Structure 1
């Protein structure tokens, strides 16, 4: 057994020790830090790190269709079709945030959420983690979007979702991940958890 066959979750293999952290920017959603680290070979390097409070995303299914929102994404310079999502508020449980975001962005409420998993969006430079949930048995209600949030709610079949991926209208990891989870649900009758 080599040293690389160890338990990945507990392995400090290639750990970088932080010597200094400089705060560069602190915004409403993210902050930017530059860390000076000691590498495993003893040399030093710098790491630019985006800090994020974490987020949730909801794969909401209504009448065999995935509820989506279309909104303009300034960093991409275009509109995107995505599942409802948003950042965690300080001290907020991911499940509570998922319910809140679903209602704010789509008007739908749900009593039942299934946690499909959590994933890091860009671990090479950011600590953002997204907690992905599935929601069925939706109850229609009223949207409560943020005052600077402009979006349109619609619903897609699985075939339409794959067409939107191929066309580049869906191109974010959380929504693509959700589409794959939904396809597994349709094939097996259960969520992939």
Structure 2
């Protein structure tokens, strides 16, 4: 049992969408008082660190509507219901980059915003890329540009806020810890 566990008294669904579900929960606090928590439920996602033989990193650039700007990110995507994370990672790598691999290593997983959301991202690594003979189609509402970048270019993109999301900054840090 957790020392500061909050017990759910009542959960009220507010919204059920394609990507998230939202609820408002009444909770009992550890001191016996009650409070309200607004919660976002998410299927989870994957992200892939993909390294080319010449030590460049596959990145995708896409428009992010909540931010009203384009970002450069590691290839990533959300898990479908019941989908295994490694299969999702392979699918997203193929769709977004035009490469596949026979070697995906799970590096870690992490929660993105645990204060209100349960989204868990599984971060994979591969340095054994194989170009697909025929590029796979992106999702119908997905538009991305593929970039290959050096570590110096990744660092500069972080400074310039072209890379401005945690999963990608975390991936870059992990690459540095691996000696790239």
Superposed, which structure 2 residues align to 1:130-149 within 5 Å?
A: 130-141=121-132, 142-149=135-142
Equivalent pairs, count: 177
Quote the Cα distance in structure 2 between the aligned partners of 1:49 and 1:144: 33
Which stretches in structure 1 are left out of the alignment for 5+ residues? 1-10, 188-193
Partner of 1:158: 151
CA distance in 2, matches of 1:146, 1:66: 22
How far does the alpha carbon of each residue in 1:112-143 deviate from its partner, in whole angstroms, 9 at most, with x for none?
01111000000000000000000111011113
Q: Report the 3-state secondary structure (helix = DSSP H, G, I; strand = E; otherwise coil) of the residue aligned with 2:101.
A: coil
1:49 alignment partner in structure 2: 39
The corresponding residue for 2:98 is 107
Normalised TM-score (structure 2): 0.96
Instruction: Give the corresponding residue for 2:29.
Output: 39
CA contact (8 A) 1:107 1:144 kept: no
The alpha-carbon deviation at position 90 of structure 1 amounts to: 1.0
Give the whole-Å Cα distance in 2 for the aligned partners of 1:13 and 1:69. 42
Counting strand residues as a fraction of each chain, which structure ranks higher?
A: 2
Partner of 1:178: 171
* Cα separation, 1, equivalents of 2:59 and 2:3: 40
After TM superposition, give the deviation of residue 144 of structure 1 in Å: 1.9
Any conservation in 2 of the 1:37–1:44 contact (CA below 8 Å)?
A: yes
| Structure 2: segments with no counterpart, 5+ residues | none
Q: 1:68 aligns with which of 59, 64, 70?
A: 59
CA deviation after TM superposition for structure 1 residue 40, in Å = 0.4
Q: Which residues in structure 2 correspond to 1:84-99 (within 5 Å)?
A: 84-99=75-90
